[in-house]
Structure 1
């Protein structure tokens, strides 16, 4: 995303008012200033601690390695295909909880003139996301809070395994905008729950998702995506290390459990990819 395009999307989180680019930072008319890190992302969380759920550097390294190995490429291709049907080729894409920017980059590849902005609270993830695609930028923000983003600026909002802020999804989407949400099904990674201690997916998660969006969005459709993976022990360690289970297992404990599995490890990937349309007044 060019600097001008970035400034057309972001607002000052403290005023809020328009931001201007100055040497190594973004600044508003009230002189609130937000540094652009040497890695390329802008930090808008000045004065706030990292969110408790933010990915650690180790989790980011695990996620980048696992995704770069191609294990979730079918999901990236599904999002790219849907995006090409749902968003204009020169549109604006916001990724809420963007992580390393992997899925945002796949979507931008499918939209040849589009620009993207990834929001995440993890500085480690933002360092990677800022370089994920030539037409993407990254900003540090807690997506549970009201976003420093202009109302109606987005053609497409991505939400892949990330916190869901329904009111902000609705506010930032334009009149013809679309929300794309990915959630794991209760079959996702089922083979790893017992042997590795992977946290189970709540079978009511999809129901809770729909309830959280019902007042503001209409479910257009949900596409199931399920396939088998054959993983090495290192793949499994990376897969577990990039998710919430990493907060509950030491590296040594995880490695011990993984080494007992043998190779290759058959693992199910199972997702629900949902397309939502915002409901406007009078509809």
Structure 2
């Protein structure tokens, strides 16, 4: 966690017993699960993953339905760097970052997420992974130019901070849902739809900071058990709207659903 900075004064943080402390005396306790919480304000309701969302995510990802996406992210990262720090912005349980670190034995990882419950899992997802609770919309407690690659998988995009923490020549890998992602499940539950202008909004968020190198669409058909349908819906933003999920309780047959994402690589603009 040498790249972390004090979220109060921006000084370097160093380990001291079971905490991280800066030269000015600000200290942050390390949780027994291995992560550190650098926030000093409450997280707005409906922002962080809940315990139920984390449990759903762990169960669904363990089934391997998104494993091909994780492998493609790891392949992209391996093309971009062989070592250095990989920062996963919105890392959740650390599933994607752990795959990248498996591919890059000389790299280390930093998972950032607003959910402490998710980072309990992330901190244990890989031996070379550190985890810190933080709100991605605020300036990050990470030193300038310390990352070789930033990952952003189904998570908020903060272009200025992506740019600041990346070293010159660093790169960004973004995974975002495409129109039609999980569309078949709309007949089962009132899903939040993917914005038709999502790609346009991504480019607007990154414009001036990054240039697109490549974008790979990835689509496949999933066959999901009733429990897996409940998990994939319950691990995402729809879970913050429980009134949308009542029909899931009655689901008793497998369903097909389309996994449709774009995996894009961007180069940092100097």
Contact 1:196 1:257 in 2 (8 A): no
Residue 265 of structure 2 is aligned with which of 260, 263, 275? 275
Aligned ranges 1:197-236 → 2 under 5 Å: 197-236=190-229
Determine if contact 1:230/1:266 at 8 Å carries over to the other structure.
yes
Aligned to 2:29: 35
Matches of 2:16 and 2:188 in 1, distance apart?
53
- Report SS of the residue matched to 1:78: helix
SS at match of 2:188: helix
Aligned to 2:235: 242
- Pairing 1:152–2:145 present: yes
Mapped contact 1:196–1:258 kept (Cα < 8 A): no
Q: Residue by residue, what CA displacement relative to the aligned partner does 1:20-79 show, whole Å, maximum 9, x if unpaired? A: 21111000111101010011101101x311243110110000001000110100100100
Unaligned runs of 5+ in 2: none
Does 1:105 pair with 2:89?
no
Alpha-carbon distance between aligned partners in 1 of 2:227 and 2:243, rounded to the nearest angstrom: 15
Shift of residue 176 of structure 1? 1.6
* 2: CA distance, partners of 1:139 / 1:254: 36
Query: Which residue is 1:139 aligned to?
Result: 132
1:51–1:142 Cα contact (<8 Å) kept: no
Equivalent residue number for residue 61 of structure 1: 55
Measured against aligned partners, the alpha-carbon deviations of 1:240-280 in whole angstroms (never above 9, x if no partner) come to 00011111125971433533xx22x1110000011011111
Q: What do the CA deviations read for 1:180-222 (whole angstroms, capped 9, x no partner)?
A: 0010000110101232111110110011101111111101110
RMSD of aligned C-alpha atoms?
1.3
Distance 1:225-1:37 versus aligned 2 partners, 3 A rule? same
Report whether the alignment pairs 1:169 with 2:159. Answer: no
Q: Quick check: 1:87–1:155 contact (8 Å CA) kept in 2?
A: yes
